[in-house]
C-alpha cells in the first residue's frame, strides 16, 4: 500500500510539473492556434537560468530563502523575455502564412535554442543545488512523500489558483478569453491583440520557468536537452485534456503523470517515454479533441 | 541614408538582446569547483551582432516594400536566373551532363576520404528528395522521417546478422518494409490535421528509437549491431577503398534513379493531386480526390526512399545503433527540404550538398551546425518560405492541339 | 415529370446550440435550374456542405439518383470525394481554388476522379497513361474554352480577376462530369456585364444536360434564370415555387424585408 501511495504522489508531482508546462502550450494554442514547439526550450532556459543564478548566489554566500526567491524570479523574468522575443521573431511575421509555416519556424526555434544553450554553456549534466530543504515535520511520512514533492504540489496549486484568478477577473485575462474565442471580433471591439498574445507568452513562459526550476531541484541535475522530452510530454498532456482548454491541461497532466508513475512502477521503467508517446499517438488518433475539448466542425 | 530613430530602435534591439542573453551567454558557473566566470566579451558580441542584424533586416524590408511598390511588369524580367536555365533544355542538358561527368570522375579526382563524405552528402540528397515528396509536394509535415530510415538500416542489419541475407536482396526488402510501416502508421494518422500529424510522426519516430534502444533481444540495444556485410559485387571481395568507390557509385545511381522518379511523379496525375492537396484539402475532396489514399501514397513512397537509404547506410558504416536515428536527424533532413525549396528537385539537391558538405569542410562551422539548421528553418520561413530555388511549374502550349483549331 | 435526381428529406444540422438546418426537404428534377435563396445566415451554404459530405448532418436523408443509369445512392456518411464521383459537384462561396497552380491545372484536378493512372503509370509513362494525360488536357482545355478562360491556361489561379476565379471554379466542377452542379453565389463580386455572361454560361451548361442548384443573392439573376426557387430562413424552408409564386409570397417578403415593410 505504501508503494501505491508513493507512486500516487510521485505521479501527482510529475503531473503538476507537466501541468505548469502544458498550460503554456494550451494558452498559446487557444489564442493563436499554434503548437509552440519551442515551449519545451523555454522551460529548459528557465531551469538553466535558475540554476545559474542559484549557483552564483550560493557561491557568494546568500541565505537559502533569498536564493530561492531570486532564482525563481530570475527564471520567470528571463523565460518570459525569451517567450516574448520568440513570438516576435519567429511567429508574428507568420501569422497569416500557411498553417505549417509557423510550426516549422517553431521547430527551428526549438533546435536553435537547444544548441544555443549547449554552445553557451555545456552539454554535460550539471548538478542542481538543493533548494528545497528536508522539512522536519515531513519526517514521519518521508519514506512515501518527500519534502520536495510536497513543495511542488503546493506551489503548483498556488500558481494554478493565481492563474485562474488572473484569467477570470483581470482585464488582461478577459481580453485573453475574448481573443481566444474570436480574434477578429476581439480586434473590432478594441482589444490590442498583439499585447494579448505577448501577455499569453509571458504567462505561459513564466509558468514553464517555475516548473523548470522545481523539477530541476527535485531531480537534482540539469542539461540542455531536458526541454525536448518534457515539452513533448506536456504537449501530450495538453492534447489529452483537450488543447485550448485550461482545466483540460491540468487534468490531462495529472492523468499523464499518474499513468506514467504507475506504469513505470508496476510494469517497467525501460519504456517510460514510450508510454507517453504511445498515449499521445493514441489520443490524437482516437480522440483528437481530448477529454475536455469540444469537437468543432471547421467552417467552410 | 538611415533615419536616426531607426538607429535608435536598432540600439534598443541590441540592448534587449544583451539583456536577454545575459545569464546564459555571460555567466558560466562551475558548481563543483564553485567558480563563477563572467564572460563580458560575449555580451559585447551579442550587442554588436543584434544591432547589425536588426539593421540588415530593416533594410531588407524597406527594399522589399519598394520592390512591391514598383511595377509588376518587372516580374518577367526578374524571373530567377536559375529558373531560366532550368526551363531551357539547351542549358539544362549540358549542365546535367557536366554534373554527371563530375560525379563519375569524383572518386578518381579526390581521396577516399572525400569520396566517403560525398557519399554521405548524396545519401542526404536522396533522403531530402524522399522527404520532399511528403513535405514539399504533398504538404505533410513528417517529423518522424528518420524512423523509416531506421527501419531500412535495421532491416539490413538484422536480416544480415540472422539469415546472412546480402545487400542486394535486402535493398528492396528494406525499402518495402519501410513503406509498409509507413502505410501502417499513415492509415490512422493521415486523417489528422497538419500540425497534429507533425507531432504524431515525431512521437512515432521517438517510439521506434526508444524501442530499438530498450528491446535488447531484438536490436541489441544502445550498443547496436556491428560487422554488417558490405555490399557484394557478383561475389567478388572488394578491397576497402574499392568498396568505398563501389558504394559511392551505388549512391550516385540511386540519386539518378530518385531524380528520375520524383520528376516523373511531379508531372503526373498523382503529383498534381499532391500539390492540390497541399493547397486546399477541402476543395480537393470536393473535386473527387480521395484525400487519405493520396496522402498515404505520398507518405509511404517517402518512407520507401528512407528505407532504401537506410539499407545503404547500414552497409556503408557496417554498424548501426539507435543514436543515429534521433529526432535531430529528421530535423536535418527537413532543413534540407526547407532550405532548398519545397517541391523543387534542384533546390533539395543544392540544399543537401550545402548543409552536409559545408560543415564537413569548414570544421570551424561544424560546432554550430545544429544551431544553423534551427536558424535556417526560422529564417527561411520568414524571408523565403518557397526556398532558395522554388519549384518551376510546368506550362502548356496549345498551338498544336487539335481541339483548339476551331478558334 | 421524371423522377427526382436529388431527394433531401428532413435534413437537420446542429452546431452546438445553433440549428443551422431544420428539417429541410428539397427535390430536384433532371434539366432544372433551381435557386436557393434566403437572408444571410439562413443556412444555404450549410445545406450545400451537408449535401456534398463536407459536414455530417445531424439527421435526415440525402438521396442522389443518376438520371442515365437510374441508380440511386444514399449519400449520408459518404466521403465528399465519393459523392463527387457519384455525379454531384460544387463551387464554393469563398473561392477555394488551388491558388498557386495554373488555371489549366485547376481544371485538370477536376478530371482526377474520372481517370486512374497511379504510381506505375507516372513512372513508366506507358501508352495508356499518356493517352489518359492527353485526354485530361484536352477535356480541361475544352471546358476552359466554355467558360472563356482558354487564353489564360498558364496563369496562376490567384492572379485571375474575381469574376474569372468564379468561372474557373465552375470549370473545375464541370470537369468532374456532374449531372447536378451546385453553385454557391456564383455572381458574388461580379460586375453587371460579367453577371450577364454568367447567366448565359449557366443556361449553356444546363442545356448540355447538367441540372443546376444555385445559391444567389442577386434577385434579378435568380428570377430570370430559375425554373423553381426554394426560400430558406433561420434554417427552415419557408417557401418554394416558380419565381412568380415566390415573389408574391408574404412569408418571403417578411423574411427579406422584416416585419413592417410592405413590398
Ligand atoms: N462550421 C460551423 N460551425 C458553427 N456554426 C456554423 C458553421 N457553419 C455555419 N454555421 C452557422 O450556421 C448558420 C448558417 O450559416 P450559412 O453559412 O449556411 O449561411 P448562408 O445562408 O450561407 O449565409 P450567406 O448568405 O451569408 O452565405 C450561421 O449562423 C453560421 O454561423
Ligand atoms: Mg453562404
pLDDT at B241 over 90: no
- The β-bridge relationship of strands C180-184 and C88-90 is parallel
What mean pLDDT is predicted for residues C182-196?
92
What mean pLDDT is predicted for residues B274-278?
91
Give the 3-state secondary structure of residue A143: coil
- Domain boundary among the residues B16, B51, B77 is at B77
B198 in the same domain as B70: no
pLDDT at B403 over 60: no
Which long-range contacts does A120-127 make (Cβ < 8 Å, 24+ apart)? Answer: A120/B21, A120/B24, A120/B25, A120/B42, A121/A48, A121/A224, A121/B24, A121/B28, A122/A224, A123/A223, A123/A224, A124/A223, A125/A221, A125/A222, A125/A223, A126/A51, A126/A221, A126/A222, A126/A223, A126/B31, A127/A220, A127/A221, A127/B31, A127/B32
pLDDT of res. B330: 92
| Cα–Cα–Cα angle for C92, C98, C104, rounded to 5 degrees | 105
B145 in the same domain as B48: no
Nearest-atom index, ligand 1, CA of C55:
1
| Nearest residue by C-alpha to atom 7 in ligand 1 | A299
Which of B401, B271, B75 minimizes the C-alpha distance to C153?
B401
pLDDT digits (tens, 9 = 90+) for C109-154: 999 999 988 888 888 888 989 999 999 999 999 999 999 998 988 9
At B78, is the pLDDT very low, low, confident or very high (cuts 50, 70, 90)?
low
pLDDT digits (tens, 9 = 90+) for A5-40: 888 988 999 899 999 999 999 999 988 888 899 999
Other Cβ atoms closer than 10 A to A2: 9
B117 in the same domain as B29: no
- Domain assignment present for residue A295? The answer is no
Verify whether ligand 1 is closer than 6 Å to residue C235 (CB atom).
Answer: no
- Check CB contact under 8 Å for C49 and A300: yes
CA–CA dist A85, B84 (Å, integer): 40
At B354, is the pLDDT very low, low, confident or very high (cuts 50, 70, 90)?
confident
* Distance from the alpha carbon of residue C184 to the mean position of ligand 2, in angstroms: 7
pLDDT at C257 over 80: no
Please identify which residue in the block is written with the cell numbers 562551422: B365
Helix B40-69 vs helix B4-20: crossing angle, to nearest 10: 140
CA–CA dist C184, C197 (Å, integer): 17
pLDDT at A239 over 80: yes
CA–CA dist A139, A147 (Å, integer): 9
- Domain assignment present for residue A116? The answer is yes
What residue numbers bound the domain in which B12 lies? 4-77
| Nearest residue by C-alpha to atom 4 in ligand 1 | C15
B281 in the same domain as B220: yes
- % pLDDT > 70, chain B: 91
pLDDT of res. A53: 94
Verify whether ligand 1 is closer than 6 Å to residue C21 (CB atom).
Answer: no
Domains C1-87+178-263 and C95-176 share a fold: yes
Domain count along chain A? 1
pLDDT at A61 over 50: yes
pLDDT at C260 over 50: no
At A69, is the pLDDT very low, low, confident or very high (cuts 50, 70, 90)?
very high
Residue B150 grid cell = 531506421
Residues with CB in 5 Å of ion ligand 2: C 45, 93
- Check CB contact under 8 Å for C100 and B279: yes
CA–CA dist C31, C140 (Å, integer): 23
Verify whether ligand 1 is closer than 6 Å to residue C56 (CB atom).
Answer: no
B248: Cβ contacts below 8 Å, ≥ 6 apart = B106, B107, B115, B116, B118, B119, B122
Measured distance between the N- and C-terminal CA atoms of chain B, rounded to whole angstroms = 56
pLDDT digits (tens, 9 = 90+) for C232-254: 999 999 999 999 888 888 888 88
- Domain assignment present for residue B85? The answer is no
- Check CB contact under 8 Å for C15 and A300: no
pLDDT at B240 over 80: no
Q: Which residue intervals of chain A are DSSP H helices?
A: 2-32, 39-59, 64-86, 100-120, 147-169, 171-181, 183-188, 193-219, 226-241, 246-262, 272-286
At B155, is the pLDDT very low, low, confident or very high (cuts 50, 70, 90)?
very high
B116 in the same domain as B40: no
Measured distance between the N- and C-terminal CA atoms of chain C, rounded to whole angstroms = 34
| Nearest residue by C-alpha to atom 17 in ligand 1 | C45
B179 in the same domain as B57: no
Q: Please tell me which residue, C106 or B390, carries the higher pLDDT value.
A: C106
Q: Which of C48, C97, C98 to probe by mutation at the B interface, max B CB count within 10 Å?
A: C98
Which of B2, B1, B40 minimizes the C-alpha distance to B21?
B40
| Nearest residue by C-alpha to atom 30 in ligand 1 | C41
CB C128 within 8 A of CB C117: yes
pLDDT digits (tens, 9 = 90+) for C53-81: 999 999 999 999 998 888 999 999 899 99
Domain count along chain B? 2
pLDDT of res. B79: 58
Helix A171-181 vs helix A193-219: crossing angle, to nearest 10: 100
What is the 8-class DSSP label of residue C157?
G
Which residues partner with C184 through β-bridges?
C215
Ranking A157-171, B222-236, C152-166 by mean pLDDT, the lowest is B222-236
CB A159 within 8 A of CB A19: no
CATH number at residue B124: 1.10.3470
At B407, is the pLDDT very low, low, confident or very high (cuts 50, 70, 90)?
very low
pTM: 0.88
pLDDT of res. B404: 44
pLDDT of res. C91: 95
At B229, is the pLDDT very low, low, confident or very high (cuts 50, 70, 90)?
confident
Which of C17, C39, C41 is the best mutation target for the ligand 1 pocket, counting ligand atoms within 8 Å of the beta carbon and taking the most? Answer: C41
What mean pLDDT is predicted for residues A132-146?
74
CA B200 to centroid of chain Cα atoms: 19
Positive or negative: CA dihedral A114, B313, B226, B180: positive
Q: Specify burial of residue B354 (Cβ count, 10 A radius: 0-12, 13-18, 19+).
A: middle
Positive or negative: CA dihedral A250, A256, A260, A266: positive
CB B231 within 8 A of CB B165: no
Q: How far from C185 is each of B382, C47, C64, C94, C207, CA to CA, in Å?
A: 36, 13, 22, 9, 20
What mean pLDDT is predicted for residues C180-184?
95
What mean pLDDT is predicted for residues A139-161?
82
CA–CA dist B174, B178 (Å, integer): 6
pLDDT of res. C110: 94
CB A36 within 8 A of CB A106: yes
pLDDT of res. C227: 93
Other Cβ atoms closer than 10 A to A188: 9
- % pLDDT > 90, chain A: 42
Name chain A contacts of B371, Cβ cutoff 8 Å.
111-112, 115-116, 119
pLDDT of res. A33: 87
Q: What is the largest CA-CA distance in chain B?
A: 89
CA B162 to centroid of chain Cα atoms: 32
Ligand with the closest atom to the CA of C46: 1
B210: Cβ contacts below 8 Å, ≥ 6 apart = A271, A273, A274, A277, B322
CB C22 within 8 A of CB C38: no
Q: Please tell me which residue, B81 or A264, carries the higher pLDDT value.
A: A264
ipTM for the complex shown:
0.91
Q: Which CATH class is domain C1-87+178-263?
A: alpha beta
CA–CA dist A47, A42 (Å, integer): 9
- Domain assignment present for residue A293? The answer is no
- Domain assignment present for residue B389? The answer is no
At B257, is the pLDDT very low, low, confident or very high (cuts 50, 70, 90)?
very high
CATH number at residue A183: 1.10.3470
Q: How far from C235 is each of A70, B369, C18, C46, C76, CA to CA, in Å?
A: 60, 59, 10, 9, 19
CA A146 to centroid of chain Cα atoms: 22
- Domain assignment present for residue A300? The answer is no
* Distance from the alpha carbon of residue C211 to the mean position of ligand 1, in angstroms: 25
Which of B151, B214, B326, B186 minimizes the C-alpha distance to A274?
B214
CA–CA dist B288, C113 (Å, integer): 5
Name chain A contacts of C92, Cβ cutoff 8 Å.
300
pLDDT at B283 over 90: yes
Q: How far from A283 is each of A287, B38, B203, CA to CA, in Å?
A: 5, 47, 12
Residue B264 grid cell = 516523373
Chains with 3+ CB–CB pairs under 8 A to A are: B, C
CB A39 within 8 A of CB A262: no
B122 in the same domain as B72: no
Q: Which of A96, A98, A298, A300 to probe by mutation at the C interface, max C CB count within 10 Å?
A: A300
Which of C13, C38, C42, C54 is the best mutation target for the ligand 1 pocket, counting ligand atoms within 8 Å of the beta carbon and taking the most? Answer: C42
pLDDT at B143 over 70: yes
- Check CB contact under 8 Å for A277 and B207: yes
Verify whether ligand 1 is closer than 6 Å to residue C49 (CB atom).
Answer: no
- Check CB contact under 8 Å for A297 and C15: yes
CB B304 within 8 A of CB B120: no
Which residues partner with C91 through β-bridges?
none
A113: Cβ contacts below 8 Å, ≥ 6 apart = A38, A41, A44, A45, A82, A86, A227, B374
Name chain A contacts of B376, Cβ cutoff 8 Å.
108
Which residues partner with B181 through β-bridges?
none
Show the 3-state SS of B341-391: CCCCHHHHHHHHHHHHHHHHHCHHHHCCHHHHHHHHHHHHHHHCCCCCCCC
CATH code for residues C95-176: 3.40.50.300
CA–CA dist A139, A142 (Å, integer): 5
Show the 3-state SS of C20-88: EEEEEEEEECCCCEEEEECCCCCCHHHHHHHHCCCCCCCEEEEEEECCCCCCEEECCCCCHHHHHHHCE
Which residues partner with C73 through β-bridges?
C64
- Check CB contact under 8 Å for B270 and C142: no
What residue spans define the domains of chain C? 1-87+178-263, 95-176
- Check CB contact under 8 Å for B374 and A99: no
- Check CB contact under 8 Å for B331 and A107: yes
- Domain assignment present for residue B407? The answer is no
What residue numbers bound the domain in which A89 lies? 2-286
At B405, is the pLDDT very low, low, confident or very high (cuts 50, 70, 90)?
very low
Nearest CA in chain A to C14: A297
Give the 3-state secondary structure of residue B170: helix
Name chain C contacts of A300, Cβ cutoff 8 Å.
45, 49, 54-55, 92
pLDDT at C212 over 90: yes
At B301, is the pLDDT very low, low, confident or very high (cuts 50, 70, 90)?
very high
Amino acid at each position: 500500500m505504501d508503494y501505491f501511495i508513493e507512486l500516487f504522489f510521485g505521479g501527482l508531482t510529475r503531473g503538476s510539473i507537466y501541468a505548469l508546462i502544458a498550460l503554456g502550450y494550451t494558452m498559446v494554442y487557444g489564442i493563436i492556434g499554434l503548437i509552440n514547439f519551442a515551449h519545451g526550450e523555454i522551460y529548459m532556459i528557465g531551469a538553466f537560468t535558475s540554476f545559474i543564478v542559484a549557483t552564483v548566489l550560493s557561491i557568494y554566500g546568500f541565505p537559502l530563502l533569498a536564493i530561492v526567491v531570486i532564482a525563481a524570479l530570475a527564471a520567470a523574468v528571463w523565460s518570459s523575455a525569451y517567450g516574448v522575443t520568440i513570438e516576435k521573431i519567429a511567429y508574428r511575421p507568420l501569422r497569416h502564412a500557411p498553417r505549417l509555416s509557423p510550426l516549422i519556424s517553431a521547430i527551428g526555434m526549438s533546435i536553435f535554442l537547444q544548441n544555443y544553450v549547449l554552445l553557451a554553456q555545456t552539454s554535460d549534466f550539471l548538478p542542481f543545488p538543493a533548494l528545497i530543504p528536508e522539512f522536519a515535520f515531513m519526517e514521519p511520512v518521508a519514506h512515501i512523500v518527500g519534502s520536495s514533492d510536497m513543495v511542488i504540489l503546493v506551489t503548483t496549486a498556488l500558481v494554478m489558483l493565481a492563474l485562474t484568478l488572473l484569467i477570470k477577473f483581470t482585464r488582461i485575462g478577459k481580453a485573453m478569453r475574448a481573443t481566444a474565442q474570436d480574434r477578429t471580433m476581439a480586434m473590432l471591439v478594441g482589444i490590442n491583440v498583439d499585447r494579448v498574445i505577448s501577455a499569453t507568452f509571458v504567462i505561459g513562459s513564466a509558468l514553464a520557468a517555475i516548473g523548470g526550476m522545481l523539477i530541476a531541484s527535485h531531480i537534482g541535475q540539469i542539461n540542455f536537452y531536458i526541454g525536448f522530452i518534457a515539452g513533448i510530454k506536456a504537449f501530450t498532456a495538453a492534447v489529452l485534456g483537450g488543447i485550448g482548454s485550461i482545466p483540460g491541461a491540468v487534468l490531462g497532466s495529472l492523468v499523464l503523470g499518474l499513468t506514467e508513475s504507475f506504469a513505470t512502477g508496476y510494469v517497467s521503467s525501460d519504456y517510460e517515454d514510450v508510454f507517453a508517446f504511445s498515449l499521445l499517438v493514441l489520443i490524437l488518433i482516437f480522440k483528437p479533441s481530448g477529454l475536455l475539448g469540444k469537437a468543432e466542425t471547421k467552417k467552410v | 541614408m538611415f533615419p536616426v530613430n531607426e538607429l535608435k530602435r536598432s540600439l534598443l534591439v541590441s540592448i534587449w538582446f544583451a539583456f536577454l542573453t545575459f545569464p546564459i551567454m555571460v555567466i558560466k558557473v562551475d558548481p563543483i569547483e564553485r567558480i563563477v566566470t563572467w564572460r563580458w566579451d560575449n555580451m559585447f558580441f551579442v550587442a554588436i551582432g543584434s544591432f547589425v542584424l536588426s539593421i540588415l533586416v530593416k533594410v531588407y524590408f524597406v527594399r522589399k516594400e519598394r520592390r512591391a511598390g514598383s511595377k509588376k511588369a518587372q516580374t518577367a524580367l526578374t524571373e530567377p536566373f536559375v529558373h531560366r536555365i532550368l526551363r531551357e533544355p539547351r542549358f539544362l542538358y549540358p549542365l546535367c551532363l557536366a554534373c554527371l561527368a563530375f560525379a563519375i570522375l569524383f572518386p578518381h579526382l579526390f581521396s577516399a576520404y572525400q569520396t566517403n563524405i560525398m557519399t554521405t552528402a548524396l545519401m542526404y540528397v536522396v533522403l531530402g528528395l524522399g522527404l520532399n515528396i511528403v513535405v514539399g509536394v504533398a504538404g505533410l509535415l513528417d517529423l518522424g522521417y528518420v524512423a523509416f530510415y531506421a527501419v531500412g538500416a535495421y532491416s539490413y542489419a538484422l536480416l544480415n546478422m540472422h539469415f546472412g541475407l546480402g545487400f542486394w536482396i535486402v535493398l528492396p526488402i528494406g525499402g518495402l518494409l519501410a513503406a509498409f510501416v509507413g502505410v501502417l502508421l499513415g492509415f490512422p494518422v493521415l486523417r489528422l490535421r497538419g500540425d497534429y500529424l507533425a507531432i504524431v510522426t515525431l512521437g512515432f519516430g521517438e517510439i521506434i528509437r526508444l524501442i530499438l534502444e530498450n528491446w535488447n533481444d531484438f536490436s541489441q540495444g544502445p550498443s547496436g549491431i556491428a560487422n554488417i556485410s558490405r555490399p557484394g559485387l557478383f561475389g567478388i571481395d572488394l578491397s576497402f577503398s574499392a568498396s568505398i568507390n563501389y558504394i559511392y557509385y551505388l549512391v550516385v545511381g540511386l540519386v539518378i534513379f530518385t531524380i528520375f522518379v520524383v520528376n516523373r511523379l511531379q508531372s503526373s496525375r498523382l503529383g498534381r493531386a499532391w500539390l492540390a492537396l497541399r493547397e486546399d484539402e477541402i476543395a480537393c475532396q470536393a473535386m473527387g480526390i480521395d484525400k487519405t489514399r493520396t496522402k498515404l501514397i505520398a507518405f509511404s513512397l517517402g518512407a520507401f526512399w528512407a528505407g532504401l537509404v537506410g539499407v545503404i547506410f547500414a552497409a556503408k558504416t557496417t554498424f548501426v545503433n539507435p543514436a543515429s536515428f534521433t529526432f535531430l536527424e529528421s530535423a536535418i533532413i527537413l532543413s534540407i527540404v526547407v532550405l532548398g525549396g519545397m517541391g523543387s528537385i534542384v533546390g533539395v539537391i543544392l540544399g543537401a550538398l550545402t548543409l552536409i558538405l559545408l560543415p564537413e569542410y569548414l570544421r570551424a562551422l561544424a560546432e554550430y551546425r545544429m544551431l544553423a539548421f534551427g536558424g535556417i528553418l526560422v529564417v527561411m520561413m520568414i524571408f523565403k518560405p518557397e526556398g532558395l530555388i522554388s519549384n518551376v511549374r510546368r506550362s502548356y502550349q496549345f498551338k498544336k492541339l487539335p481541339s483548339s483549331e476551331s478558334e | 415529370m421524371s423522377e427526382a435526381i436529388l431527394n433531401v428529406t428532413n435534413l437537420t444540422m446542429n452546431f452546438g446550440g445553433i440549428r443551422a438546418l431544420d428539417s429541410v426537404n428539397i427535390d430536384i428534377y433532371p434539366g432544372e435550374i433551381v435557386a436557393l435563396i434566403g437572408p444571410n445566415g439562413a443556412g444555404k451554404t450549410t445545406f450545400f456542405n451537408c449535401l456534398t459530405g463536407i459536414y455530417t448532418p445531424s439527421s435526415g436523408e440525402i438521396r442522389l439518383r443518376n438520371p442515365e443509369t437510374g441508380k440511386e445512392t444514399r449519400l449520408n456518411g459518404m466521403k465528399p470525394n465519393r459523392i463527387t464521383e457519384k455525379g454531384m459537384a460544387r463551387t464554393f462561396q469563398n473561392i477555394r481554388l488551388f491558388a498557386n497552380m495554373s488555371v489549366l491545372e485547376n481544371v485538370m484536378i477536376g478530371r482526377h476522379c474520372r481517370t486512374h493512372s497511379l504510381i506505375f503509370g507516372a513512372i513508366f509513362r506507358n501508352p495508356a497513361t499518356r493517352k489518359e494525360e492527353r485526354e485530361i488536357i484536352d477535356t480541361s482545355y475544352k471546358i476552359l474554352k466554355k467558360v472563356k478562360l482558354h487564353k489564360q491556361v498558364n496563369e496562376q489561379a490567384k492572379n485571375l480577376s474575381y469574376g474569372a476565379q468564379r468561372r474557373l471554379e465552375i470549370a473545375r466542377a464541370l470537369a468532374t462530369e456532374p449531372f447536378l452542379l451546385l453553385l454557391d453565389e456564383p455572381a458574388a463580386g461580379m460586375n453587371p456585364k460579367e453577371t450577364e455572361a454568367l447567366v448565359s454560361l449557366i443556361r449553356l451548361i444546363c442545356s448540355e444536360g447538367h441540372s443546376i442548384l444555385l445559391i444567389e443573392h442577386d434577385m434579378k439573376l435568380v428570377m430570370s434564370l430559375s425554373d423553381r426557387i426554394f426560400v430558406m430562413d433561420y434554417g427552415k424552408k419557408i417557401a418554394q415555387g416558380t419565381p412568380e409564386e415566390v415573389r408574391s409570397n408574404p412569408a418571403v417578403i417578411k423574411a427579406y424585408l422584416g416585419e413592417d415593410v410592405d413590398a
